[in-house]
Structure 1
Amino acid sequence: MRIIRAADCLVMPWKNGGGTTTEIAVAPGGASLNDFDWRISMAHVGQDGPFSSFPGIDRTLSVLTGAGITLAFGDGERMRLDRSSAPYAFAADRAVEGLLVDGPIDDLNVMSRRGRWRHRVERLSGAGSLDANKGLLVLVARKGDWQVNGAALSAGDSAVLDAPGGVELVASGGEAELYAVWLTREA
């Protein structure tokens, strides 16, 4: 298990000035936005604007803080996401504009390259166990303090587990929330 502390994550401003991105993990290590196989990041969205297009990439978006965002797709589909919404998956090469509901938000972005990797995202709260016998499991602690197989994670920290088998999660202290990201190679 590899622990990634929040303080060690790189924060980058967007080219359009509309927000910032905090990169949590990327594969292969050091990959750019053009050549990653998968990428997990958090973004602070400060204003309405178009999402960057990522050809050949699938994306899942989860709202972490704020009143929410409406995704206005170029084909007319609209999807409103807020804190209570399940993680929402869509093709990252679809034209989409983000319209903030009522002020800035923070979100979790998971992206994987079609034909190489696929991903699934789930929001969890409280203690429990997970089973991940193949691929990778990345845990992103959002609120509270967590024990992952005995290792401590604070809010903002993450853990990367490679084919971990059974994983025991224990949350302590009040409200706790964690995102589980399963990543598997496509054949």
Structure 2
Amino acid sequence: MLIWKAMTTLQVLKYSDYKVMPWKNGLGMTAQIDIFPKNTEFPPNSSDESFLWRVSSASVQNNNPFSQFPGCDRYLAVYQGQGLRLNEKDLRPTQILQFRGEDPIQGDLIHGPVLDIGVIYRREKVHATMSFVQASPGQALELTLTHKTHYIFCARGKFRCQEMKVSAKETLIINKACDLQVIAEGNEDLQLYLIQLSLR
């Protein structure tokens, strides 16, 4: 069951829909899930004021410094692998770290390659939150989405929402505030990362 506070649009993005590209510093690769406004070039140059946010999932294969994004804040989580050590602070699976885009960050692998999920957004123009949600097979989750744009990234398992079915590494996008029910399907635990964004 899905209860709407307003008319909404749901869209499922499969991994094949993501745009794979190099990091800003050229030291790795990332899969861009979505960017706003649409068709904005990334990474933005210093004079580009159009870029507001970008959601992506990166593959980290080696110890490397992070790209820097002045004027932006970031959320980051590891969803596959043992984790990252960021400036001596461990980021383990299911944990979420928020940091400033201009801060120098050294990312070292704790034990082998990882996949991460994150969002970069302009702090003066965008309000953002990121949270982790888990459910057992067959469990229904009631989510209250209060912002304007929402990305539900399926890190593990699969779920059903209305007629939509979403599997691991896929993303459900909702563009209005609403109360939402998702149902965990299959035989493994469901792990989701919920990113909510709105203009200030």
Could you say whether these structures have the same fold, taking a TM-score greater than 0.5 normalized by the shorter chain as the test?
yes
Residue 29 of structure 1: SS of its match in structure 2? coil
- The structure 2 residue matched to 1:70, chosen from 73, 85, 88, is 85
- The structure 2 residue matched to 1:33, chosen from 24, 27, 43, is 43
Matched, 1:175 2:189: yes
Contact 2:22–2:30, Cα closer than 8 Å, also in 1? yes
Matched, 1:98 2:112: no
The one-letter code matched in structure 1 to 2:65 is P
Q: Partner of 1:82 in structure 2?
A: 92
TM-score under structure 2 length normalisation? 0.84
Distance 1:7 1:38 in 2: 21
Q: Partner of 1:20 in structure 2?
A: 29
The one-letter code matched in structure 2 to 1:90 is F
Structure 1 17/58 Cα, relative in aligned 2: closer, same or farther at 3 Å? closer
Which digits, 9 at most, give the CA deviation of each residue in 1:39-85, with x for residues without a partner? 1100001111111100011101101111211111xxxxx3111114x
Unaligned runs of 5+ in 2: 1-9
| Pairwise CA distance, 1:183 | 0.6
Contact 1:69–1:80, Cα closer than 8 Å, also in 2? yes
| Pairwise CA distance, 1:146 | 0.8
Which digits, 9 at most, give the CA deviation of each residue in 1:79-99, with x for residues without a partner? 111114x21101111111111
Contact 2:23–2:67, Cα closer than 8 Å, also in 1? no
Contact 1:18–1:45, Cα closer than 8 Å, also in 2? no
Distance 1:140 1:15 in 2: 23
Distance 2:70 2:153 in 1: 26
Q: Among the aligned pairs, what percent are the same residue?
A: 29
Unaligned runs of 5+ in 1: 73-77
Q: Partner of 1:75 in structure 2?
A: none
Matched, 1:161 2:174: yes
Aligned length: 180
Matched, 1:50 2:65: yes
Contact 2:21–2:30, Cα closer than 8 Å, also in 1? yes
Q: Partner of 1:112 in structure 2?
A: 121
Distance 1:158 1:10 in 2: 13
Distance 1:96 1:107 in 2: 15
Distance 2:125 2:165 in 1: 31
Contact 1:70–1:101, Cα closer than 8 Å, also in 2? yes
Structure 1 134/61 Cα, relative in aligned 2: closer, same or farther at 3 Å? closer
Residue 44 of structure 1: SS of its match in structure 2? strand
Structure 1 70/128 Cα, relative in aligned 2: closer, same or farther at 3 Å? same
Matched, 1:138 2:148: no
Distance 2:144 2:26 in 1: 40
| Pairwise CA distance, 1:106 | 0.9
Residue 16 of structure 2: SS of its match in structure 1? helix
Task: Tell me how large the CA RMSD over aligned residues is.
Answer: 1.6
Contact 2:24–2:67, Cα closer than 8 Å, also in 1? no
Judging by fraction of residues, say which structure has more strand.
1
- Segments of 4+ moved more than 4 angstroms: none
Distance 2:28 2:142 in 1: 35
